[in-house]
Structure 1
């Protein structure tokens, strides 16, 4: 079943985006050594961020009308600033589909004669087609001795979640790794289904994430991971309240799990400010961010809208400010501005655009990605892509470091960019697909905080003075790259660790 964009909304979006395409573009003023940093104003950043991250757009979830309405608003801001449309067919938009795979509402599950609603009273970790009836055995915490004693081949195996991370990663990442890795071990040992049950610590994660698993998995249509298969061992996750019932002997698990797939529209928003140099204007400095967030989810303290002010309305407002500066004073090279859709679904918009750019890929000389730039200590920030093995252009990094010293002088964290950092932050934003293609790429960020991916990430929590200085740093770096004689050199032998 394919979800289609309603015709009236599509027409409205396209009319908005093409309103100036028929107008004759004004000739750009000649570039000079003087930049337009003063065009970046805190008041503009605050106004734009409150507009985008307010409740009106309901958290801008990727693949929903809320994301598309927010994207239309951003395109209108681009038009008002005077940017050229650089999407498809003379518009600001590049449309693409994302694929969602989920369990159907008709799926059923019974354990010991008790019916549990998949996705509500029992999480199915990955959508799968499975019809099975099997004896259920409880193996405690799943130690090798417990598993060997139970003789699990051909049986459904129930496991009590337990343990703590020992390598510095967050408990959430530890838990999801455990779900994946322990289930795979039990499947290799012959289990036909794996049923995890929360302990008190895992229960807090279950309560927050169960509705997310209910939504299923997302990707681009060609992604192999989204193919529905019938030979995969189903992995279930139950709340702590089911622990006692699961530990009883002589029970049977009966499951009829059926998966379905949908296509939803998402969109990249693309604008261009032409350069002034006859030779260099065919090259592009790409400023990157994403407009989507988590939408409307289970309420926390009565608030169900995940506004995504820092993640990533800060990046969105920053790019609008950088556009104003480049419009006031264009550079020698052209500036390309890309808002990537469905980043929270797995970098889908940037994966799509990097493979199907609306300008020649070889013309993109650098990618400067803006991701979460308005929180934490006023003088702290980070430049991801500046530390091996993530460093793919020493030249670009030196330019960014010089811009930092010339402008805001942030104290730069280097721990988060290391391959050993437990959060793997480098791999979780839109510069990554470009870096994988060998394009010089860095990410400007003020890093994670306690309100990350919660309804508390509200416009009122942003440090707007810091956001202005982060935006100035982003701009000064891009301005320097756009005016230098040669593009940033690429690091020979660049290879990511995963």
Structure 2
């Protein structure tokens, strides 16, 4: 099977008219260099920026750095004169968690944890005189631990993980596969309990027996996931129904099980030895409650605007994006900082350099005909939140947005290209517009001559890369996109994603491809025609 590489020299361009190398474009591309890239990335991906996690100090520092750079270039702040687009981002945090067993209060983070995602906006309070113990929570045809039990309106206690019916040969081959299998099993268990009317589930979780920093960090002081505060969200929250999930230590579980003269070890041995469920009702006075609070999170997209020079075309806007956030600090290992040099310090650096090149061109009287919005977005790692916010609250009308060129990871080489690193993945270029696909490839042919790998350029790619970066929030609004990407590597979302591992000449070369593509888009006679529907079918 042939590798799906598109070699630049084989690509033909049609529809926009042939364009040869533009000497002016080449002249101002000199700002896009390995030295300039290092200047920016060595700051943005430094330990001082603490991994740039959304809503944390490092991300705010990065936003300030980017704003100052845009301002120094003479770009305009398009948000009422400002460079920041504030995002209405919040988290819903559990601020009070209480568990008592037979009147004795248990200690949070030592004896129990209540999952924030399982608590509704109004919180909950439950008081019961009995708990249903259902072993591993399995409901298989040949091993149903709920058989004969009525769990409706009851609190059910189960082991957080494990399956005594699974043979050793059935275990997943890799740790990642094991984690995925455990997640699927847990979700199936919780769905069964919810579908059958359980009030809450108590999970026996050995990781709480000696909670380390990682366990405590996972709870994150009860903080819920970050989300955009929208009317739809508030309406959904009013209607939300959730099964409260309380994880408890082995000692806490033994305190509940002792009412029946057993403990965790003995009941596990019983199930293993007999091959039969050991489900039972336990007489215990249990009270559990949790309250939630809305917490405002500071987050902003950073925008720099370059107005076009053509009176008729300047209302049309090209948007160049990269996300400046990453995943922050970790609690395990000696290196605590997830620097995110490649993801996506490299893309942010590319945006900064491309902005500088266009700003210098404009100052020399050679600015683009169309306007360009340079935007670094936040919250990508939390679910594409910053770009979603912009797409729903655009500073410039989406119908005037001709294309989004999105840069997410352009500083490294993935394992498939170690022998031929002069490549970049392009994704989405032909999803909505045949014109854009041809223009992007022709820009590569004329200026850069890099191998364009399109293996991930489809909607059915199991990695789902088309849906996993900020361009997708533009594509959802019928804006043509190109996503530039170097693929994942061993340091993806790890502390090892550091500046020292960045290939700066390659980063600059990829950024130049984006720049020359942007130059042709911003100066072309017409904008790319959207000739395809979201599902890829031709428009009629």
- Classify the TM-score, shorter chain: 0.7 to 0.9
Aligned residue number for residue 319 of structure 1:
351
- Structure 2 residue 90 is the aligned partner of structure 1 residue 93: no
Distance 2:92 2:359 in 1: 42
CA contact (8 A) 2:427 2:454 kept: no
> Counterpart of 1:278 in 2: which secondary structure?
coil
Q: Check 1:458–1:164 CA distance in 2 against 1; reply closer, same or farther (3 A cut).
A: farther
- Structure 2 residue 453 is the aligned partner of structure 1 residue 412: yes
Aligned residue number for residue 333 of structure 1:
370
Q: Deviations over 1:193-225 (max 9, x none)?
A: 23455699xx99x85972459431211112527
Q: Check 1:434–1:219 CA distance in 2 against 1; reply closer, same or farther (3 A cut).
A: same
Distance 1:271 1:398 in 2: 28
CA contact (8 A) 1:101 1:259 kept: yes
How many residues get paired? 458
Q: Check 1:334–1:66 CA distance in 2 against 1; reply closer, same or farther (3 A cut).
A: same
- Structure 2 residue 108 is the aligned partner of structure 1 residue 108: no
> Counterpart of 2:525 in 1: which secondary structure?
coil
Single out whichever of 40-49 and 94-103 deviates more from structure 2. Answer: 94-103
Root-mean-square deviation (CA), in Å? 3.6
Distance 2:174 2:454 in 1: 20
From 381, 388, 394, give the equivalent of 1:351: 388
Q: CA deviation at 1:103?
A: 1.0
Q: Deviations over 1:256-302 (max 9, x none)?
A: 12221111221111112222333222211100112222233x42312
Distance 1:484 1:319 in 2: 21
- Structure 2 residue 158 is the aligned partner of structure 1 residue 158: yes
Greater C-alpha radius of gyration: 2
Distance 2:343 2:111 in 1: 28
Q: CA deviation at 1:173?
A: 5.4
Instruction: Show the 5 A alignment for 1:42-81.
Output: 42-81=34-73
TM norm structure 1: 0.80
TM norm structure 2: 0.75
CA contact (8 A) 1:287 1:319 kept: yes
Aligned residue number for residue 509 of structure 2:
469
CA contact (8 A) 2:93 2:293 kept: yes
Q: Deviations over 1:295-314 (max 9, x none)?
A: 33x42312322222112111
Distance 1:234 1:116 in 2: 18
CA contact (8 A) 1:111 1:251 kept: no
Distance 2:216 2:449 in 1: 37
Gaps of 5+ in 1: 1-30
Instruction: Show the 5 A alignment for 1:360-375.
Output: 360-375=397-412
Aligned residue number for residue 336 of structure 2:
304
From 318, 321, 332, give the equivalent of 1:288: 321
Distance 2:240 2:310 in 1: 58
Aligned residue number for residue 233 of structure 1:
243
> Counterpart of 1:306 in 2: which secondary structure?
coil
Q: Check 1:486–1:159 CA distance in 2 against 1; reply closer, same or farther (3 A cut).
A: farther
Instruction: Show the 5 A alignment for 1:430-449.
Output: 430-449=470-489
Single out whichever of 306-315 and 143-152 deviates more from structure 2. Answer: 143-152
Q: CA deviation at 1:178?
A: 4.5
Distance 2:466 2:484 in 1: 11
CA contact (8 A) 1:192 1:234 kept: yes
Distance 1:398 1:240 in 2: 61
Q: Deviations over 1:58-98 (max 9, x none)?
A: 22221234322221111111122232222x22121111221
CA contact (8 A) 2:319 2:401 kept: yes
Distance 1:381 1:170 in 2: 29
Q: Check 1:187–1:169 CA distance in 2 against 1; reply closer, same or farther (3 A cut).
A: same
CA contact (8 A) 2:112 2:247 kept: no
CA contact (8 A) 1:156 1:194 kept: yes
- Structure 2 residue 229 is the aligned partner of structure 1 residue 221: yes
Aligned residue number for residue 16 of structure 2:
none
CA contact (8 A) 1:275 1:332 kept: yes
From 188, 191, 195, give the equivalent of 2:195: 188
Aligned residue number for residue 133 of structure 2:
137
Gaps of 5+ in 2: 1-21, 163-169, 255-262, 268-279, 362-366, 415-420
Q: Check 1:39–1:231 CA distance in 2 against 1; reply closer, same or farther (3 A cut).
A: closer
Single out whichever of 283-292 and 458-467 deviates more from structure 2. Answer: 458-467
Distance 2:369 2:111 in 1: 56
